[in-house]
Amino acid sequence: MSITSLLNPPPLLVEIGPDWLKVRHGQDSAEFPLDHGPDGRLTALGKGKTAAALKNFLKAKDWRPRIRAWCAISSRGVSLRRLSLPGGAKEEFQQRLLLQIEAEFPLPPDELAWGCLPLGQSHPANGTLARQDLLVAAVRKTWVADYQELLRACGTEPVFTLAATARWNWCGQPADSFAMLDVGLRQSELTLFEKAVPTVSRIIYWDGKNASNPAAAPLETLAEAIKGSLTGSRLWVTGPAVSKEFTERLERLLGHGCNCERVENPPVGGSSAAILGLEKYAAQGATPALILRLEPGGSAATSLAALNWKTWGTRVGVLAAACVLLPYAEALLLKPHLERKVATFKADAERLKIIDRELDFLRGLKLSQPPYLDVLFVLSKSAPPGSRFDSLSLNSHGEVSLRGGFHDGQQVADFRNKLIASGFFTNVVVEEQVPTPDRQKVNVRMSAQERTAAELAAASAHLALDDTKNHEKAVAPGAVPATPSAPPISGKEAK
C-alpha cells in the first residue's frame, strides 16, 4: 500500500436501497442488509451490525483519514420542485430560498435534507430583474440522518445525492427529454428528465422476482404504471436483471412509439448503474451537481479524503521553502538598518568611555572631600537655643574654628561637651570667652580638630542610629526626649 493511498484513499461508493446497502471500494464490492423498524427508520441494533460489517469490509483504522462516501439514495420520500427566485446578494438570495422552500414543502427547512441545482437565469419580457431558476430536492432529514450516522460510525464521511442523477451520469448524460426506469426485485424507480434535469421521480411497487425471465415477469402491471407518466419517446432501463428480451417486451407493452434502451452494466460484481455513475464522477474528479445537505444553507462535509493533495502539497512546499529562506531574506532586507544600528552602538560606546572617566573623577572627589555636612549637622544639633554663630571655618586638614555668642558660660560648657560626646572631634578648645558690655551674653571663639576618616565614618553611622532611636521615642505617646550626657569640664580644658 502506497503513502498516497493511505493519505488519499479511494472514495466509498454506496447505493441505498429499500432493505439493502450496496457498496464498492476500489475493486471490492459487497452488499449489506438493512433492518427497518415499524416507523420505517433503521433500528439501533441493525445499524450497529451493519456499521461493524462495513467497518470490517473497509478495514478502517482510527489513525487513517476519513474516507469520502458518495451515497446515492432512491426517490422514496424525495420531492422535487422547480423554483424561480429573483437574483440578489448571496445572503439575501439564500434567505429567500429558505422562505420559498418553507412555502413549497410540508416541512420547514430545518427538518429537511435538501439540495438545489441552478438551472440558469431567465429574463422576463417586462424588463424586471433577472430570476434564478432552481431545482430543489428535499427529503425528511431523519431518514437521511440514520444513514449518515451509520456511515460515520465506520470511519467515513457521507455525501448524499439522488440515485437518478448518478444513473444519468452513467448513461452518458443525455441532454434531451427522456425517462429512466431502474428495475428492482420488489420496486422500480421511474424518473422523468426534461433537458437533462430530473423533474419527477417516483417508486413503482411490483413483483419483479422473475424479472430475469421476461415470459413469467408481470410486465403488464409495470407497463400500466408507467405508461401515463412518459413524456418523451425514449426510456432508459437499468437494473441487474434486465435483459434484452425484457426490454423488447416492455417496449411492445408501452407502445405509442416508445423506444426502450437497455443500459448494460459491465461485469463487475455488486455494481449497479447508480454506483457506476458515482464511480464515473470520482474518476473525472467531479462531484454530483445535486447534493442533499442536512443543514440549511450548509455545505457538504469535507474530509481529508476530499482534499486536493497536489494543491496542498504545493502549498506546503512553498511554505517550507519560505521558512528556510526567510532568515536569509530578512538578513538581506535588514542589513542597512543593522549597519546603522551598529554604527550608533559604536558611537555610544565611545561616549560611554568619556562618561566613565568623568564618573570616576566625581567618585574620587566625593571620597576625598571632608564630611562638611556631617560636621555642620553636629554643630547645629549641639548648639543651645538662642546661640549665634558669626563665623565658621572648615578646611581639608580637619581644622574647625568658629566665633559666636552664647547666653552664658554654662551654655558654652554644654556646647563643648556635646561636641566632644559626638565623637567627631579630638580636641575642642575654648580659646576666648568674653562677656558683652551689657553682661547679657558671652562672645566665644572656639577651635577643634576632626578625627580620622575611618573614625568619622563610624561616628556618622552611630549618629544616624541615635537619631533614629530618638525619633522613635519622640513618636511614642508620653515619651520624653533624652538629653545626651557630657563628661565634666576639667579646669585645663575650661581654661
Lowest mean pLDDT among 124-138, 202-216, 328-342: 202-216
Quick: pLDDT tens for 326-373: 888 888 888 888 899 999 999 988 889 899 989 888 888 777 666 677
Q: Does domain 173-262 have CATH number 3.40.140.10?
A: no
Residues 390-395 have a mean pLDDT of 88
Q: Reply yes or no on whether the pLDDT at 240 is more than 80.
A: no
Mean pLDDT value across residues 23-36: 88
DSSP state letter for 379: H
Question: 232 burial class (0-12, 13-18, 19+ CB within 10 angstroms)?
Answer: middle
Res 305: pLDDT: 44
Query: For the domain bounded by 1-171+270-307, which CATH number is listed?
Result: 3.30.420
pLDDT value for 160? 93
Same fold, 1-171+270-307 and 372-494: no
- Which pLDDT score, from 0 to 100, does residue 284 have? 85
DSSP track, 107-169: S-GGGEEEEEEEEEEE--TT----EEEEEEEEEEHHHHHHHHHHHHHTTEEEEEEEHHHHHHH
Contact 261, 237 (CB under 8 A): yes
Closest-CA residue to 254 (of 272, 235, 268): 235
Q: How confident is the model at residue 487 (pLDDT cuts 50, 70, 90)?
A: very low
Quote the percentage of the chain above a pLDDT of 70.
Answer: 82
Choice between 365 and 495, residue whose per-residue pLDDT is larger = 365
pLDDT mean over 380-385: 87
Residue 315 has pLDDT above 50, yes or no: yes
- Domain limits, the chain: 1-171+270-307, 173-262, 309-368, 372-494
Give the whole-angstrom CA distance, residue 412 versus residue 432: 11
Q: CATH number of 372-494: 3.40.50.920, 3.40.190.10, 3.40.50.300, 3.30.1360.100?
A: 3.30.1360.100
pLDDT, averaged across the chain: 80
The three cell numbers of residue 254 are 408501452
